[in-house]
């Protein structure tokens, strides 16, 4: 049993992803996608970025560890009648079955950061990108004051210490780590660049309803609530998350939610 797979199949990330579509679309609009570009989206979920890449004409493969999300992605593209995209199960730390130099662009937005063995992840991303191609990662930033880093920080205070050797996904949000991981994969530091950008979670109901979605469907938050229940601290955790979502809500529309979150965009030129 792969605990990483279990974590993401436990919930239903499509429920959260529905609040991320606008930012996914906007991000893909900046990637210079042209017709026929070969794109791999790693940790693609149900296609928040993979599908906009395909609607711009790219040939897209979405890879995700969670079977339910792969099914959801394939269902979405079938409904949309898109034939230049498919989703399949796979692990970002071992892309066996994908040949070297297969893609012009490898995208991973809050995806590969969650895979264990970050050095293997960097190596695999570089291996499957053709010389002259690019890798673009979106990574949440450790200790950032905005939403996702804070959810993970609050949650970690309720969950037992991770097993020995566990590398936090948030380490991908520190520039020095990304440089070290890609340089071990053969990419010089000068070919790794960084920018801070914003993803906005938009939801048609009040912030507390979005907390409900995280509590019921987002694997890491579900685990935090399971642990909080064991220690009799469920309502304390819920209170902390309600306060966080409420304080970060920037929607001008009453009863709706728009929460911006900062992430680190990592761009790697592969040569
Ligand atoms: C926060 S979600 C983001 C999904 C999608 N990129 C998006 O922006 O909506 C993280 C995704 O990474 C996937 N994931 C986690 N570990 C993975 C791994 N080792 N290999 C591939 N995908 C993985 C999860 O199943 C999940 O779909």
User: Does any ligand 1 atom lie closer than 6 A to the CB of residue 114?
Assistant: yes
How far is ligand 1, taken at its centre, from the CA of residue 114, in Å? Answer: 7
User: Does any ligand 1 atom lie closer than 6 A to the CB of residue 73?
Assistant: no
How much is the pTM?
0.97
Task: Return the SS3 of 101.
Answer: coil
Q: What does the pLDDT read at residue 64?
A: 98
Average pLDDT over residues 91-108: 98
Please name the residue whose Cα sits nearest to atom 1 of ligand 1: 110
Which pairing describes strands 257-269 and 192-203: parallel, antiparallel, or unpaired? antiparallel
1 pLDDT above the threshold of 90: no
How far is ligand 1, taken at its centre, from the CA of residue 50, in Å? Answer: 12
pLDDT band at 46 (very low <50, low <70, confident <90, very high): very high
How far is ligand 1, taken at its centre, from the CA of residue 241, in Å? Answer: 22
User: Does any ligand 1 atom lie closer than 6 A to the CB of residue 43?
Assistant: yes
pLDDT, tens digit, 9 for 90 and up, residues 189-203:
999 999 999 999 999
Give the integer Cα–Cα distance in Å for 219 and 207.
19
User: Does any ligand 1 atom lie closer than 6 A to the CB of residue 27?
Assistant: no
User: Is residue 237 classed exposed, middle or buried when 0-12, 13-18 and 19+ CB atoms within 10 A define those classes?
Assistant: buried
Check if the beta carbon of residue 101 is closer than 8 Å to that of residue 128: yes
- Residues 6+ positions from 13 with CB-CB distance below 8 Å: 45, 46, 66, 69, 217, 218, 219
């Amino acid at each position: 049993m792969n605990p990483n797979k279990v974590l993401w199949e436990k919930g239903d990330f499509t429920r959260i992803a529905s609040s991320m579509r606008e930012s996914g679309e906007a991000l893909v609009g900046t990637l210079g996608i042209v017709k026929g570009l070969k794109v791999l989206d790693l940790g693609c979920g149900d296609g928040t970025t993979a599908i906009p890449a395909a609607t711009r004409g790219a040939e897209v493969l979405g890879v995700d560890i969670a079977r339910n999300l792969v099914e959801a992605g394939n269902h979405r593209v079938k409904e949309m009648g898109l034939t230049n995209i498919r989703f399949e199960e796979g692990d970002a730390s071992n892309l066996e079955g994908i040949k070297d130099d297969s893609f012009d662009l490898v995208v991973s937005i809050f995806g590969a950061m969650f895979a264990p063995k970050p050095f293997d992840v960097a190596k695999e991303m570089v291996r499957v990108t053709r010389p002259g191609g690019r890798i673009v990662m979106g990574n949440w930033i450790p200790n950032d004051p905005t939403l996702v880093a804070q959810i993970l920080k609050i949650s970690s205070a309720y969950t037992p210490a991770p097993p020995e050797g566990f590398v936090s996904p948030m380490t991908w949000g520190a520039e020095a780590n990304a440089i070290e991981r890609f340089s071990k994969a053969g990419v010089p530091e000068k070919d790794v660049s960084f920018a801070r950008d914003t993803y906005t979670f938009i939801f048609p109901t009040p912030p507390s309803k979005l907390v409900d979605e995280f509590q019921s469907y987002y694997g890491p938050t579900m685990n935090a609530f399971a642990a909080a229940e064991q220690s009799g601290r469920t309502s304390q955790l819920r209170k902390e998350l309600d306060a966080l979502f409420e304080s970060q809500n920037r929607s001008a529309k009453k009863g709706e939610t728009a929460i911006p979150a900062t992430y680190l965009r990592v761009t790697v030129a592969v040569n």
